[in-house]
Amino acid sequence: MQFTTLVPAYKPKYLVELLAALRHQTVKPARIIISDDSPDQAFVAALGDNTPLRQAVADMSVEVVPGPRTGAYDNFRALLQRFGGQTELFHLLLDDDIPYPTFYERHLAAHSHGRLQCAVSRRWTALDSGQPTRDLPVPPAIATHPQRMLALDAKLLFAHTAGVSANWLGEFSNATFHADMAPLLDDPSLDGICFTGLEDLGAFLKASIRAPLGYINEHLGYFRTSAAQHSADPMGRPMKLAHLAYIALTLSGRRLGLLEPAAAQTNLSGLCPVIVERYGEQDDMAALCGVMPALATGGDEGDRVETEFLALWHVYSGAVARKPLQLLMPPTLTSQPLISVFIPIYNGAQYISRTLDSLLAQSFQHFEVLCINDCSTDDSLAILQDYAARDPRVRVLDMDVNQGSVPKVLNKMLPEMRGNYFVYSSQDDLFSSDWLAKMHARAVETGADAVIPDLVFYYENEPDRCRSLIGLKGDRSVELTGRDAMVQSLDWTIPGNALWNAELIRRLGFADFAVNADEYSGRVFFMNCNKVAFSEGQFLYRQDNPDAITKRLTYKSFDMALTFFRLFELLRDNGFAPELYAREALKALRTLEQIQRWLVGARAQMTPSEIAEAETRGAVVEQLLRDSRLYDVFEASPSTETTS
C-alpha cells in the first residue's frame, strides 16, 4: 500500500519545514501534490524546476499545481480531483501542520491490520514554533487503553463525538483514508444532512459506518494554532458553521440509529441554548436561532421543527447550491481491480458466508469477488446478493442453466474478469487476512506468472488433522520454471491453489472435458508459466465438507480417471520423462478399476439414469485406455493407489 499526500497550500511560511517532515518519513509517500492557492503562486515559484528547494527534494515525487483560488474548500476539492485514486491511500495535510517521522509507517501498519476506510492518530496542538501546548480531550477509556491501535465502531464514535458535541479525533492532517473515500469526502453529508463546518469529523464518522475506524493511540504530529486562523474568531462564520454542524451530525446520527434518541435529545437540549446565547443577535443567524428553543425541547413538534431547521441549515451552509465533483478514479482502483477472485457456487449456503467474510477481511483491498451462482436451489443466491449490496467489490453472476462443472462455469465467466491476476476459491474455503497481500507482493517482486501461498488441509473441528504445504518442501524462497512446477504438482508436492497472471488464464482457458478438469488445467497453466514463486499467507482448503464433489463417489467420479488419462497424454506429447507420464497412465487405469468396483455395490442406491451415465463415462475412459494400449503395458492387478 502506498500514500499520496495532498497539500491544500496557502501559507508558504512553513513550506521548508513541511517538505523536510515528508522527506524524513520512515515510509515516504509515493506522491506529493501541492495545490498552490496563494495569491502570488508562492509555492509554484519556490518549487520551480531549477530552484534549490526543488533540488533538495529531488528524491521525492513532488507535483505543484496552481489552485483554483476560489476558497479553501474548492482547493480541497481540486486536490481530490487531482489525486484520482492513483494510490490505495491518501493523506490531506494542511500546509502548517507537521507529521512526525513515523507517521506514515504507523498509519500503514493500521491499514494493514484490517479493512479500514480511515485511520486517525493522536496529535498535539502547538504554538507557531511547533512547541506542543496541549492534547485533545480524548475519552479516558481510549487515552489510557493499553493497545496502541484500536478499531472503533460507528456507534461508539457517534456517542462520544457528535452525541456530546466534541471532536477529540482531530483534523484531516492526522488522518489517512482509503482511496474509496475520496468521492465521499467531496460530499459533506450523512443521510442527506449536510455537516459543513465539521468536514473532518463528519468524514471520520462517515468512514466508520463503512468499516471500523482505526485509531492510533500515539502522538504522530502537531497542529499549529494562531490568532490568524479562522477558528480563532468565535463570532466568525467558520465557528458558526461548526456549532450548527454538531446539530446536523446529532440529527443524522439519530436518523441512522447510531445515536440513541434520548442521548441525541440531551445533546440538543444543551447545545441549542448555547448557540442562541452566542449568536442570537447576529442577523445571519436569526432564523436558525428562532427554531432552536423548539429543537432543544423536542416533543410532539419534533419532526416538524427538525424539518424546518434542516431547510434553513442547508441554505445557510450552502448545501443546496453545491454541485458534486466528478472524481475520475483510475481503473486500477475502480473499474479494473488488481485481483479477480472467482468462486463458483452451487448450493453453498452452509459455508459461503464464512468464505466471503474471510475474503472481505483481507488487508489487501484492490480485488473483486466474482460469485457465480450455478442455479443453486438453496439460499445461496440471496446470501450472495446481500453481500453484493453491502460491498461493491462483490459481484454476483447468476447462470441461466446449470453448467454441471467448475471448468464450464469458469470459462463462461472469464470475460467478466477485470483484474491483472486471477485466483480461484471453492465455496467453502477460508484464508488468512494477509493471503492476497502476500501473494500479490511476491508476484510484483518476482514477476512470476504464478505465486503459491501456504496451503492448509483444513479440518475446522479437528485441528490435529490439519497439515500444511509450505513452499517447495518448506522453502518459500525457491523459484521454479513452469515445467519444474508442473512436475512437482503431479503428486501434490506443490498445490495448484495459486495467484495466476490473468493474461495466462485468459489465453489458455479451462479444459472442460471432465468435472475435475481444473486439475488438468492447473498443470497446463504451470507448464506455460515463465516462473513460479511461493509466498506466505494461508489458503485453508477445507477437508471436512462431506458434500464437496471431491469427497464422495458418484457417477461423475469416472471423470477422475479421464483426467489422469489426459495428463498422461499432456506429459507424453510435451516431452516429459517416460516415468512421469507412465505414472499418470497407471493412475488412470487403477482409478477406473476402483470406481468400476464401487459401481457394482452402488447400483442399488442409484437411479437408472445415473447408472447409465456412470456406465457411459466408464466406457469412454476404458476405450481410451485400450486405444492407447495401456492395458497391454500395465498388467491388471489389485489396486495399490487411491483416487486423488
> And the C-alpha cell for 23?
522527506
Buried b (16+ CB within 10 A) or exposed e, 502-536: bebbeeeebbbebbbbbbbbbbbbbbbbebbbbbb
Q: Give the whole-angstrom CA distance, residue 325 versus residue 318.
A: 15
pLDDT of residue 590: 92
In which element (H, E) is residue 486 found?
A: helix 482-489
Q: Give the whole-angstrom CA distance, residue 344 versus residue 424.
A: 9
In which element (H, E) is residue 189 found?
A: strand 189-190
Phi then psi for residue 499, to 5 deg, are -90, 120
Q: Where are the domains of the chain?
A: 1-96, 97-269, 339-549, 553-633
C-alpha closest to that of 247 among 172, 318, 196: 196
Task: Yes or no: say if 376 and 389 are a contact pair by the CB < 8 Å rule.
Answer: no
Question: Which portions of the chain are predicted below pLDDT 70?
Answer: 49, 114, 227-232, 320-336, 546-552, 635-644
Three-state SS sequence of 118-182 = EEEEEEEEECCCCCEEEECCCCHHHHCCCCCEEEECHHHHHHHCHHHCCCCCCCHHHEEEEHHHH
DSSP 320: G
Task: Give the β-pairing of 421-424 and 339-345.
Answer: parallel
pLDDT of residue 184: 84
Ramachandran assignment for 475, one of left (phi > 0), alpha (psi -120 to 50 degrees), beta (any other):
beta
Task: Give the β-pairing of 189-190 and 62-66.
Answer: unpaired
Buried b (16+ CB within 10 A) or exposed e, 373-406: bbbbeeebbebbeebbeebebbbbbebeeebebb
Task: Yes or no: say if 273 and 296 are a contact pair by the CB < 8 Å rule.
Answer: yes
pLDDT of residue 548: 62
Strands (E), 333-477: 339-345, 367-373, 394-398, 421-424, 430-431, 450-458, 467-469
Q: What is the pLDDT of residues 71-110, one digit of tens each?
A: 888 888 888 888 877 788 999 999 999 999 999 999 999 9
Q: What is the pLDDT of residues 413-465, one digit of tens each?
A: 899 898 889 999 999 999 998 899 899 888 888 889 999 999 999 998 898 99
pLDDT of residue 275: 94
Three-class secondary structure of residue 379 per DSSP: coil
Q: Which numeric CATH code is attached to 339-549?
A: 3.90.550.10
Task: Yes or no: say if 370 and 341 are a contact pair by the CB < 8 Å rule.
Answer: yes
Q: Give the whole-angstrom CA distance, residue 456 versus residue 466.
A: 7
Task: Yes or no: say if 164 and 201 are a contact pair by the CB < 8 Å rule.
Answer: no
Q: Give the whole-angstrom CA distance, residue 552 versus residue 563.
A: 17
Q: Give the whole-angstrom CA distance, residue 329 versus residue 375.
A: 35
CB atoms within 10 A of CB 50: 6
The superfamily in CATH containing domain 1-96 is: Spore Coat Polysaccharide Biosynthesis Protein SpsA; Chain A (3.90.550.10)
Q: How far is CA 580 from CA 217, 476, 491, 498, 586, in A?
A: 58, 25, 10, 23, 10
- State the residue for C-alpha cell 458534486: 324
